[in-house]
Amino acid sequence: MSEESISAGLGTLREDSMVEVNYDELIPNNVDLSTDLRLKRALESWQPKFLDWWKVAGPADTREFEVYLRTAVGVDPKGWAKFDYLKMPEYRWGILLAPKEEGRMIPCGKHKGEPVWQEVPGEYRAMLRRLVVVQGDTEPASVEQQRYLSKTAPSLYDMRNLFQVNVEEGRHLWAMVYLLVKYFGRDGREEAEALLQRRSADADRPRILGAFNEETPDWLSFFMFTFFTDRDGKMQLESLAQSGFDPLSRSCRFMLTEEAHHMFVGETGIARVIQRTCDAMNEAGITNARDIEAVRNLGVIDLPTLQKKVNFHGSVSRDLFGSEVSTNAANAFNAGLKGRFGETKIDDDHQLEGAVYPVTRLVDGCFIDEDVPALSAINARLLDDYIKDCQGGIKRWNKVFEKAGIDFQITQPHKAFSRMIGEFADIFVTTDGEIISEQEWNQRKTEWLCTDEDNVYIQSLMNPCMKKGEYAGWIASPRIGINNQPGDFEYVKIG
């Protein structure tokens, strides 16, 4: 489909000017880009570099694929997206902000109750830029990590979902680049360039945060990543959506609308893996989920391996919250640059002077919950909220076992398990929270994390299944299609 017909289809879709996105311009936007020529030019000069990055680091060998993608056409939570076939390099990456809330006040910190900032407050410039850069850095990193996955997609439906996530992470990069270029002058433009130069797992210029330099080598990892790591994205975006810097808040609010699908992909992806394994076990009359060999002989993912993947992605993603006790986080909250999860719904003074929060710490060889100043425990609290949020999805996974009559439950590892950042970075802890020596850890870690053999087995299942309506043998079909499409819908036309 040509670019003209896409913009014709999209540009006129909404009439409400508050939420309308202008698709007639080179860069679709709802920020009146055409009235700020300097900004427009700066972004138009970044755009080809972004496309070059997409070519070399985005989904490999997919240029001609026609993908059934949703594109945002407005920012109204009801009816904000339109579905159509697109070649990915022609996706209309644009700049979309949630509508301005008239009279919005800074919700927390020492400026609480003051009107939100429409420009960068000078005293917080460096801190704010750092937050935007870190957020921006994760978006292209995830696309890089997922670059080769389409080659082993278990179905066209899954391949389409992968691409949907990828183009939207690309758009999230745009969202942060807009803020950098519009509000941070020359430094902002330099940061925007650097975001395209770092690469996931690159020896010289890696991505900033740990999890974004890990591999996503198979589809089980992809589903776990979208469940656990994209959910860190959700929590961090929720916290930045509370920002007193209103353009950041509005960017993040709209990003969250897109984010929901990413977690849907992860949660339902794993639920379908569980379903398939349970079905295969029941058909074969296998009741012992711990009999790995028997289950693997059925060509499905055995459940202990699934638990190991949960242990890995869960702990790597928890590291993304930073140190539980952090002055950076206290400063950012106090400055009103970020808030807590659901800040405006929390019943307290939103300034936290003198308040305390219980943080799990290691004291005399035991884990205890110790009250620390709530301001310095901002990261700890977000992490706790995150762990609760994960548990909701895990409960739904466990329902699948129950319904199938298979005696197995997925659990989250202990908070201190396999951490590289924060309170527990220097200790060795089992998934049950038992503290062990480094030597014992090295001997026993394969009880909790995948071995090479496990990974080889997972890889052996990663054979592509590209016929419409068909699914690889290790995963069940989804219950409903994207945008209610029928089961044999051709989500990707490979041509």
- Contact set with Fe ion (CB under 5 A): 139, 169, 172, 230, 233, 262
- Using CB distances below 5 to 8 A depending on partner kind, what does residue 236 bind out of ligand BYC, Fe ion, none? ligand BYC
Closest C-alpha among 58, 230, 60 to residue 138:
230
Q: Which of 10, 179, 270, 329 binds ligand BYC (CB under 6 A)?
A: 329
> Cα(323)–Cα(376) distance, rounded to whole angstroms?
10
Would you count residue 267 as binding ligand BYC (CB under 6 A)? no
Would you count residue 134 as binding ligand BYC (CB under 6 A)? yes
Question: For 186-210, b where at least 16 C-beta lie within 10 A, e where not — what string?
Answer: eebbebbeebbebbbeeeeebbbbe
Q: Which of 29, 30, 62, 142 binds ligand BYC (CB under 6 A)?
A: 142
Would you count residue 278 as binding ligand BYC (CB under 6 A)? no
Would you mind telling me the total number of residues written for the chain in this entry? 495
- Using CB distances below 5 to 8 A depending on partner kind, what does residue 329 bind out of ligand BYC, Fe ion, none? ligand BYC
- Residue 36's φ and ψ, nearest 5 degrees, are -125, 85
31 to each of 17, 118, 233, 261, how far by Cα in Å?
Answer: 11, 13, 24, 24
Question: For 227-249, b where at least 16 C-beta lie within 10 A, e where not — what string?
Answer: bbbbbbbbbbbbbbbbbbbbbbb
Other Cβ atoms closer than 10 A to 151: 14
> Cα(478)–Cα(482) distance, rounded to whole angstroms?
9
Closest approach of ligand BYC to the CB of residue 130, in Å = 6
- Using CB distances below 5 to 8 A depending on partner kind, what does residue 214 bind out of Fe ion, ligand BYC, none? none
The structure tokens 């539980």 sit at 324
Q: Which of 50, 312, 321, 386 binds ligand BYC (CB under 6 A)?
A: 321
Paired with 368 in beta bridges are: 361
Closest approach of Fe ion to the CB of residue 82, in Å = 20
In this structure, what token pair is assigned to residue 435? 């503290």
Site for ligand BYC in 112-131 (CB under 6 A): 130-131
Sign of CA dihedral 374, 376, 379, 383: negative
Other Cβ atoms closer than 10 A to 369: 11
Closest C-alpha among 382, 340, 108 to residue 245:
108
Closest approach of Fe ion to the CB of residue 304, in Å = 28
SS3 content of the chain, % helix, strand, coil (to 5): 50, 10, 40
Nearest residue (CB) to ligand BYC, 62 versus 236 = 236
Closest approach of ligand BYC to the CB of residue 265, in Å = 11
Would you count residue 191 as binding ligand BYC (CB under 6 A)? no
Residues 314, 319, 321, CA angle at the centre, nearest 5°?
Answer: 110
Q: Which of 60, 355, 421, 466 binds ligand BYC (CB under 6 A)?
A: 421
Would you count residue 140 as binding ligand BYC (CB under 6 A)? no
Q: Are 167 and 88 in contact (CB under 8 A)?
A: yes
Would you count residue 71 as binding ligand BYC (CB under 6 A)? no
Q: Which of 328, 398, 411, 485 binds ligand BYC (CB under 6 A)?
A: 328
Would you count residue 230 as binding ligand BYC (CB under 6 A)? yes
Would you count residue 323 as binding ligand BYC (CB under 6 A)? yes
Closest C-alpha among 312, 479, 324 to residue 403:
479
Would you count residue 210 as binding ligand BYC (CB under 6 A)? yes
Q: Which of 138, 150, 334, 430 binds ligand BYC (CB under 6 A)?
A: 138
Closest approach of ligand BYC to the CB of residue 315, in Å = 11
- Using CB distances below 5 to 8 A depending on partner kind, what does residue 320 bind out of ligand BYC, Fe ion, none? ligand BYC
Closest approach of ligand BYC to the CB of residue 248, in Å = 10
Q: Which residue is nearest to ligand BYC (CB)?
A: 322
Nearest residue (CB) to Fe ion, 259 versus 384 = 259
Closest approach of ligand BYC to the CB of residue 258, in Å = 11
Closest approach of ligand BYC to the CB of residue 481, in Å = 24
Residue 445 burial (C-beta neighbours within 10 Å; 0-12, 13-18, 19+): middle
Would you count residue 29 as binding ligand BYC (CB under 6 A)? no
Residue type, 202: D
Q: Which strand (E) or helix (H) includes residue 359?
A: strand 356-363
Nearest residue (CB) to ligand BYC, 421 versus 462 = 421
Q: Which of 144, 158, 169, 384 binds ligand BYC (CB under 6 A)?
A: 169
Rg of the Cα trace of the chain?
A: 23
Q: Which of 39, 75, 107, 139 binds ligand BYC (CB under 6 A)?
A: 139
Binding site for ligand BYC (CB under 6 A): 130-131, 134-135, 138-139, 142, 169, 209-210, 229-230, 232-233, 236, 319-323, 326, 328-329, 379, 421
